[in-house]
Structure 1
Amino acid sequence: MAQVPGLAATFLAHAKVRFIPPEASAELDGLLLRAWETARERWPAVELPAEAFVTHLAERLPEASPDSPIEPLLAQLSLAELYLACACLRGAPAAIELFDRNYLAKLPGLLRGPKQPEAMIDDICQLARVKLLVPTPEGAPKIAEYTGRGALLSWVRVITVRIAIKLQAAQKPAPDQDSDPELEQIPTPGGDAELELIKRRYQTDFRQAVREAFSELSADDRHLLRLYFVDQLSMYELASLFRVNQSTVSRWLKSARQEVYEETRRRLQERLGLSTRDFKSFLAVLDSQLELNISQLLGVRDGVPRPPGKD
């Protein structure tokens, strides 16, 4: 590898990708210097050497080929929040104070729910702070794992939710009379802990919204859904019953489910008052569990309905 002076040399030495050294090394030096200056503008009270930041940045760069241009890769990252995370990892008091004020202080509001005791929330937040900021004999604090791909607050919230779920599981609370065992057993797509918490917190509202949305359907659509979900007639059987082809039945079912979905979504957004980001996350739960809730509403208790096209 050719010798590249300054920040470029540091960056190339620590990047997981063996980038081809640019001929104009001064351009890479300038790019990295601007990245450092831009990042520290957000936190003027936090002192972090450019070389330390560039090293931290290089180690967390997205996967790329050796000949990839570096500037677009940097554009994918939240540089200012990576700067703060790096400074926290190095134990800078000003950085830790800012992290407490701008991120950890927001956790109680994000975790608070009707069935979440304040004492439990306090315990969860304290555990999160320790895991995120305190090194252990096994390794660096958790904040070292933040890669800058996404907002730092969202990442902190996911880490905290995972801690909450483990803590609640360890305490083995008494079964909730209002909970639905079948809903609890369904994993959130991708095992996302944040969506799992959203699902549990708003389960009652979700099921009520599905009931109300179903009641808004026409009598014909409700009848069709009962035949499909309760009587478990196949596409072929429904097509024979209504004397139409299977594609028509598929279109009817899709339309009825879409009506339930849209009405459920509308009612939930009005009822829950979620932020735009949280509601987008919640839609993943809604999408994954809508058919299950329709089946339970119609009386199916011993299985999940077959997806269309699997007959």
Structure 2
Amino acid sequence: MHPILFEIGPLTVRTYGLLLAVSFIAGILLALRRSRARGLNQNQMINMSLLIMVAGIVGARIMYVIPHWNEFSANPLDIISPFQSSGSIGLTGLTMYGGFIAAVLVSILYLRVNRLSIWRACDAFAPSIALGIGVSRVGCYMNGCCFGLPTESALGVVFPAFSAAGSFYPDVPLHPAQLYNAVLGFGLFGLLMWLDRKPRYDGFIFAVLLIAEPVTRFLVDLFRYYESSMTLGSLGGMALSVNQGISIVLCGLGLLLLGLARNRARQRSSRSRVRRG
């Protein structure tokens, strides 16, 4: 791992922060290209992309702060201020699903207000989300956060003592859960791009993302460490994390959206045949 790229006085440039920025930029550029091919207004898509960035960070921060309030109760300004009470500069502590949910809700609101196709826009942005997961999880590995449980397998990684992983499990091999998530994120990105080579009904690509990503997240979380504040209880004798609970809900929504999008496409096709007849 390599959490810090370089320092300039009190300013610390972290690998995670840089890769998070790269994931946003690459994802937005890809989404704009894909939205252009779907006939969506580019200026409006740029505006929505900026809203997604802000909403994603705010949502990810809020979802981290809620179960970790004890870390901020003494200095609440640390929640939003880049100048931390510890003397460091920058925000640490983001939860991906919080950012994802906030970004989707803000996007849908923006699309409805501007009377744009929600289905086509979501399809345009779907691969960017998977790409962002892959890139940002590499950043998590370099940062030593979002780490896995102890393992005796050949995949085990011993993290430095100064990292979050190393402080919890000093000199203990851990599952590199961050890399599991990264590989699956890149794989999902490739799958969505491959599926999109052929014409699909509007909403199909986003629905596949909403089904597949939670499944991969649920599986990765079987190997990931969580503090007690991030667990919901047990399911069949297995500890269930908050993120796994969210994964179940999102996967169900994805299946519902897939059915709705398919029915919508069939109805439009039927109306088109009637008009031609």
Q: Same fold (TM over 0.5)?
A: no
Specify which structure has the bigger relative contact order, considering alpha-carbon pairs within 8 angstroms and separated by 6 or more residues. Answer: 2
Under a length normalisation based on structure 2, what TM-score does the superposition of the two structures give?
A: 0.29
Question: Of Structure 1 and Structure 2, which has the larger fraction of its residues in strand?
Answer: 2
Structure possessing the higher radius of gyration over alpha carbons? 1
Q: TM-score, normalised by structure 1?
A: 0.27
